[in-house]
Amino acid sequence: MNAAEELKQALPASVVSTGMQVEKPLVLVKKEDLLEVAAKVKEMGFDHLSVVTGVDYVDRFEVIYNFFSYGKKENLVLKVVLDHEAPEVGSLTSLWKGADWLERETYDLVGVRFTGHPNLTRILLPEGWKGHPLRKDYDMSVEQFVTIGEDGEDIVSTDGSNLLRRK
Amino acid sequence: MMIANAYELIVYILTTIGVYEPINNIFMSFGLDDILKIIIMLVEIAILFAFVLVTIMFLTWMERKVVAMVQSRYGPMVTGPRGLLQPVMDGVKLIGKEDIIPEKADRWIFTLAPFIVFVPALLVFIPLPFGESLIISDLRVGLLYIIAISAISPVAILLAGWASNNKYSLLGAMRAVAQDISYTIPLALAAIAVVLFTSSLSTVDIVNAQAGTWFGIIPKWFIFIQPLGFILFLIASIAEMGRIPFDFQESEQELVAGFFTEYSGMKFAMFFLAEYAHLFAVSGIIVTLFLGGWNGPVIPFIPVQITSLVYFLIKTYAVIFFAMWLRDTVPRVRIDQLLNLGWKIMIPLALLNLLITGFVVTAGVIQ
Amino acid sequence: METEELLINMGPVHPSTHGVLRFKLRMDGEIIKECTVVMGYLHRGTEKLAEMKTYLQFIPYTDRLDYISAMPNNYAYVKAVEELAGIEVPLRAEYIRVLTVELNRIVNHLVFMGSLLLDLGASTAIMYGFREREKALQLYEMLCGARMTFSYFRIGGVRDDLPDDFMSKLNEFIKDMEKRIEDYKGLINGNEIFMMRMKGIGVISAEEAINYGMTGPSLRGSGVNYDIRKIEPYSIYPDLDFKACVRPECDSYARYMVRIDEMEESLHILRQIADTIPKSEVVATQKYGIAPLTGMPYTAQTYFPRIFIPPAGEAYSRIEAPKGELGFYVVSDGTTKPYRVKIRSPSFCNLTAIPKMVVGLKIPDLIAAFGTIDVVLGDVDR
């Protein structure tokens, strides 16, 4: 019995389905119960959160968590499906501190909101950037200009007005 | 006839070639014999400063070459033979640079600070004996004068750091001051141990005390009777110079460039030159105090002034080379580790050294 | 006494942030109270670019992630696509891949050593490091014509076979490098000042390191015996004799020592490969993918197709890159272009732990700890 089935037995109400993702057990989880499942996953010994991936499928968002267990040397993949209109899911920062930046990055580039995240701000793009680039509907024809202001904070504009030096 | 200093040397040379008397008579006839003295003094000071400035330029070249040697590179090779003219090109470049004064800096202090750093760096050379009778002025408190003059530079560094209105500059300046204060004490204590032997603060007396040999082989240098003092003085002076492993005032990787982050052009060059002037001066002082000064085997038919100058320069460059070699070999320590070393290890050791020296001198074991 | 907290901004242009990284430091005198990392100055949208390129076209972009060691980037991406499509790679190609990756590990650690010592104020180590790196880069130049951005890997193999005199040059390099590593150990490892600066600095316990998602040498410096080459063996690593280098001290010195030990292990691997590399094709020639014109599967051929369509699906594959765990999450929707490529870069994830590590230390310690994490900003910002 692999980790996915074990998880399904432990929390049958939260797990939608199980499967495989190229030799890695995959669990599709209800988005409301993610935190609960993740706590169980951590309890099962999956102490390494390898990556958090957000994918825009136009009609839905998927957030995929890849775990690894140093003790058992096993992989596990968690997947949640989110609405396209308001992609929101619980944050795992309370369980894995490494999730902090990974979730911020997912928020920044894909636009998935992680509720309960202590500091959900943009990480790679400057604060004030319009749109989330890894969404399929991101408009790449709009140029955005970034400068650093007097106080060291980023200023973004689409018309380049911030590029001119003003007295 | 004993020639005490460079003034008398110039007078002696002029007398020997027979021009001193007529010139002196001309000045005497106008009742201006003091003016002649002043002119001769200005000439000797000009010679000293020209010599020091050329040495500084040479040192910047030498530093690059030593670094290159250690790192299996060539170093500057293009300007002049083996890149010897590189310092000149650097100077031309720095003069040509825009002189930027930051908007929020304190203009006057910002401009003044490089000069306050540079002038004491040159003044240190006045009681430094370059050779037999090659000294501007043999002050009776020569050593005290040197230590006192060196203590001006942290003030100027603090001014520079403060006036720049830059946090890195301020941090660098604060570090420099903390470091200088901590290391001036062991430096002075180690020097005083030498003074206990000579009973004189005059640099010439100190050098003369080191003339001769024991058993015909070992030169009577203070390094052999003051090994601990020498090591303490060497470490403290490298710290005072602010070179790696103690270069906190700049510490490029932490504070960008420390107190001269905001300086550019000629003002930057002043700091840069002062640093090398300091290196040369401190090495000269180490040689004077511990390595026998200008003393060395006497070579017949060559005036002692020339041989002594050569001996002095050889020893000084050996010390300078050591400092440069050190710079390329070790990483930088941390500021708190440096202060710990200064206060908790160096000062007690220096005091101990002073105590032992006091006993030895009182008991008259070595003389 | 009235004191005031000092807000210091380090970067984005600063001598020791290894590129364009910015630290916002809240300081009490010289002590760091809080460290905030600001990044993204080198963000090039690599993941977005991937969605606009075919699978093959994306390989050169992976070079630009961790430009100090580009081969592992190639490898991680190619491996993910191969896992997705189930492609078998010829044995010789696997040997060449491991050879190039391990050589790159040595290059990376040489640069790491040099830049760490440079951060500590010793300028000589980087010159020595680059002297040896140059020889390795010349080997790469023989191999693929490039010195830093190789693009040598192809889906299903590598671009070309080894040149004729490559092996003899490699053996020379190995012999030379053995002596050099001994030199470095003698010059650096026991240096009193170096140890004063590194020991007990930037301590992070094994539990914390795992929790923060640290991987690679940085994690092994905290005593966790985790090397993907050992634990999830891929390629030919099961056949090779090497050991994962672990140090239990959890501090900067341990992280440094792990990397120095790893260089020796990598040399050992190179030696084995030089002895045992088999003869075979270097690129998979089975019938993979679909010809775009006819819509039919490719028939007999001797090269891997340029336009290649893996089956729809997704795969996450990780390798042990010199800096840690490098993973590519590739989603295919059954077209010629990847639907989504997510890069799990080791630099980014290891950097997460820096704010935790440096609280209560001084600026010089921040630089020492940051240096031993060994990040490349191209990899952090992507």
Q: Verify that B134 and B272 share a domain, yes or no.
A: yes
Partner-chain contact C193 B330, CB within 8 Å: yes
Residue C301 has pLDDT above 70, yes or no: no
pLDDT one-digit tens code per residue, B293-302: 787 777 777 7
Q: Verify that B187 and B253 share a domain, yes or no.
A: yes
Partner-chain contact A97 C352, CB within 8 Å: yes
Angstroms from C369 CA to nearest CA on chain B: 13
Mean local confidence (pLDDT), B185-201: 86
Mean local confidence (pLDDT), A110-118: 86
Tally of CB atoms within 10 A around C84? 24
Whether residue B309 contacts residue B134, with contact meaning beta carbons closer than 8 Å, is answered with yes
- The CA–CA distances, whole Å, from C80 to A17, B46, C101 equal 24, 74, 16
Average pLDDT, chain A: 81
Q: Which residues of chain B from 236 to 265 reach within 8 Å of chain C, CB to CB?
A: 244-245, 247, 251-256
The subunits that touch chain C, with at least 3 C-beta pairs less than 8 Å apart, are A, B
Q: Verify that B73 and B144 share a domain, yes or no.
A: no
pLDDT band at B366 (very low <50, low <70, confident <90, very high): low
| Amino acid sitting at position C277 | I
pLDDT band at C213 (very low <50, low <70, confident <90, very high): confident
**Which residues in chain A are contacts of C9 at CB distance < 8 A?**
152
- At which residue do the structure tokens 């939608």 appear? A16
Peptide linkage before C12 cis (omega within 30 of 0) = yes
Residue C297 has pLDDT above 70, yes or no: no
Nearest-angstrom CA–CA distance, C103 and B2: 71
If you write DSSP's letter for every residue of B154-205 in order, what string do you get? HHHHHHHHHHTT-HHHHHHHHHHHHHHHHHHHHHHHHHHHHHHHHS---HHH
Nearest-angstrom CA–CA distance, A151 and B5: 60
Nearest-angstrom CA–CA distance, C341 and C316: 10
Is there a domain that residue B226 lies in?
A: yes
Q: Is B76 helix (H, G, I), strand (E, B) or coil?
A: coil
Is there a domain that residue B27 lies in?
A: yes
pLDDT one-digit tens code per residue, B233-289: 888 888 887 777 777 666 666 676 777 777 878 888 888 888 888 888 888 889 888
Interface test with C, best of B334, B336, B341, B345 (most C CBs within 10 A): B334
User: Taking CB atoms and an 8 Å cut-off, how many pairs form between chains A and C?
Assistant: 96
C118–B contact, CB cutoff 8 A: yes
Q: Is B69 helix (H, G, I), strand (E, B) or coil?
A: helix
H/E segment holding residue B213: strand B213-214
- The token duo for B165 is 């209105």
Nearest-angstrom CA–CA distance, B65 and A102: 48
- The CA–CA distances, whole Å, from C311 to B234, C7, C82, C330 equal 72, 53, 11, 12
Partner-chain contact A97 C356, CB within 8 Å: yes
Whether residue B333 contacts residue B246, with contact meaning beta carbons closer than 8 Å, is answered with yes
Residue B367 has pLDDT above 60, yes or no: no
Q: What percent of chain C has pLDDT over 70?
A: 93
Nearest-angstrom CA–CA distance, B159 and C248: 47
Is there a domain that residue B322 lies in?
A: yes
Q: Is B43 helix (H, G, I), strand (E, B) or coil?
A: helix
Q: What percent of chain B has pLDDT over 90?
A: 1
Partner-chain contact B333 C8, CB within 8 Å: no
Question: CB-CB: which of A47, A97, A126 is closest to C40?
Answer: A126
- The CA–CA distances, whole Å, from B49 to B109, B263, B284, B320, C360 equal 25, 24, 15, 19, 48
**Which residues in chain B are contacts of C117 at CB distance < 8 A?**
331
Nearest-CA residue of chain C relative to B70?
C124
- The CA–CA distances, whole Å, from C63 to B190, C153, C247 equal 58, 10, 30
Is there a domain that residue B15 lies in?
A: yes
**Which residues in chain C are contacts of B328 at CB distance < 8 A?**
122-124
Nearest-angstrom CA–CA distance, A67 and A47: 7
Is there a domain that residue B89 lies in?
A: no
Q: Verify that B48 and B170 share a domain, yes or no.
A: no
Is there a domain that residue B337 lies in?
A: yes
Nearest-angstrom CA–CA distance, C293 and C174: 48
Mean local confidence (pLDDT), B79-84: 83
User: Taking CB atoms and an 8 Å cut-off, how many pairs form between chains B and C?
Assistant: 77
- At which residue do the structure tokens 């998602």 appear? C213
Residue B2 has pLDDT above 50, yes or no: yes
| pLDDT given for residue C231 in this prediction | 82
Q: What own/partner pairs with CB < 8 Å and gap ≥ 24 does B355-361 have?
A: B357/B193, B357/B196, B357/B197, B357/B226, B357/B229, B358/B196, B360/B225, B361/B196, B361/B197
Partner-chain contact B71 C124, CB within 8 Å: yes
Mean local confidence (pLDDT), C202-215: 86
pLDDT one-digit tens code per residue, B310-336: 888 888 999 999 988 888 888 888 878
| pLDDT given for residue B252 in this prediction | 64
| Amino acid sitting at position C353 | A
Nearest-angstrom CA–CA distance, C288 and C282: 16
pLDDT band at C292 (very low <50, low <70, confident <90, very high): low
Q: Verify that B56 and B163 share a domain, yes or no.
A: no
Mean local confidence (pLDDT), B14-29: 79
Q: Verify that B44 and B185 share a domain, yes or no.
A: no
Q: Verify that B65 and B203 share a domain, yes or no.
A: no
Per residue in B29-60, is it b (16+ CB within 10 Å) or e — as a string?
eeeeeeebeeebeeebeeebeeebeebbbebb
- At which residue do the structure tokens 């400057």 appear? A126
Asked if ipTM goes beyond 0.90, one says: no
pLDDT band at B365 (very low <50, low <70, confident <90, very high): low
For residue B31, what are the domain limits?
A: 1-82
- The token duo for B230 is 């020498």
More confident residue, B284 or C293: B284
**Which residues in chain C are contacts of B64 at CB distance < 8 A?**
none
Domain boundary among the residues B82, B107, B126 is at B82
**Which residues in chain A are contacts of C84 at CB distance < 8 A?**
22
Is there a domain that residue B91 lies in?
A: no
If you write DSSP's letter for every residue of B222-260 in order, what string do you get? HHHH-HHHHHHHHHHHHHHHT-TTS-TTT-HHHHTTGGG
| pLDDT given for residue C303 in this prediction | 59
Nearest-angstrom CA–CA distance, A103 and A92: 8
Angstroms from C68 CA to nearest CA on chain B: 20
Tally of CB atoms within 10 A around A143? 9
pLDDT band at C313 (very low <50, low <70, confident <90, very high): confident
Give backbone dihedrals phi and psi of C13, rounded to 5 degrees, phi first: -105, 105
- The CA–CA distances, whole Å, from C217 to B122, C189, C209, C256 equal 51, 17, 11, 8
Q: Is A162 helix (H, G, I), strand (E, B) or coil?
A: helix
What's the DSSP call for residue C185?
I
pLDDT one-digit tens code per residue, B205-232: 888 888 777 777 777 788 888 888 889 8
Nearest-CA residue of chain A relative to C210?
A48
| pLDDT given for residue A149 in this prediction | 75
pLDDT band at A34 (very low <50, low <70, confident <90, very high): confident
B329–C contact, CB cutoff 8 A: yes
| pLDDT given for residue C198 in this prediction | 85
Interface test with A, best of C39, C214, C340 (most A CBs within 10 A): C340
Whether residue C355 contacts residue C378, with contact meaning beta carbons closer than 8 Å, is answered with no
Domain boundary among the residues B57, B82, B107 is at B82
Q: Verify that B319 and B277 share a domain, yes or no.
A: yes
Q: Verify that B149 and B260 share a domain, yes or no.
A: yes
Which segment of A154-163, C33-42, C83-92 scores lowest on mean pLDDT? Answer: A154-163
Is there a domain that residue B294 lies in?
A: yes
Question: CB-CB: which of C39, C43, C210 is closest to A47?
Answer: C210
Nearest-angstrom CA–CA distance, C237 and C235: 6
In 3D space, the residue among C142, C176, C174 whose CA is nearest the CA of residue C159 turns out to be: C142
Q: Verify that B105 and B238 share a domain, yes or no.
A: yes
Q: Is C20 helix (H, G, I), strand (E, B) or coil?
A: strand
Domains in chain B, number: 2
More confident residue, A162 or A38: A38
Angstroms from C14 CA to nearest CA on chain A: 15
Residue B163 has pLDDT above 60, yes or no: yes
Residue B130 has pLDDT above 60, yes or no: yes
Partner-chain contact A98 C213, CB within 8 Å: yes
Domain boundary among the residues B24, B55, B82 is at B82
What's the DSSP call for residue C238?
G
| pLDDT given for residue B250 in this prediction | 67
**Is B touching A (3+ C-beta pairs, cut-off 8 A)?**
no
Nearest-angstrom CA–CA distance, B305 and B313: 12
Q: Verify that B174 and B268 share a domain, yes or no.
A: yes
If you write DSSP's letter for every residue of C69-130 in order, what string do you get? SHHHHHHHHHHHHHHHHTPPPPHHHHHHHHHHHHHHHHHHHHHHHHHHHHHTT--HHHHHHH
Q: Verify that B221 and B149 share a domain, yes or no.
A: yes
pLDDT band at C286 (very low <50, low <70, confident <90, very high): low
The CB-side HSE value for C339 (13 A sphere, CA atoms) comes to 19
Nearest-angstrom CA–CA distance, B69 and B328: 10
| pLDDT given for residue A167 in this prediction | 44
Partner-chain contact C325 A50, CB within 8 Å: yes
For A105, counting Cβ atoms within 10 Å of its Cβ (0-12 exposed, 13-18 middle, 19+ buried), the class is buried
Three-state SS annotation for C132-182: HHHHHHHHHHHHHCCCCCCCCEECCEECCCCCCCHHHHHHHHHHHHHHHHH
Which segment of B27-41, C22-36, C47-61, C116-130 scores lowest on mean pLDDT? Answer: B27-41
Nearest-angstrom CA–CA distance, C223 and C209: 10
Partner-chain contact C362 B334, CB within 8 Å: yes
Q: What own/partner pairs with CB < 8 Å and gap ≥ 24 does B313-321 have?
A: B313/B130, B315/B287, B315/B291, B316/B280, B316/B283, B316/B284, B316/B287, B317/B283, B319/B283, B319/B286, B319/B287, B319/B291, B320/B59, B320/B62, B320/B279, B320/B280, B320/B283, B321/B62, B321/B66
- The token duo for C312 is 């729809």
Q: Which residues of chain B from 51 to 70 reach within 8 Å of chain C, CB to CB?
A: 67, 70
**Which residues in chain B are contacts of C193 at CB distance < 8 A?**
245, 330-333
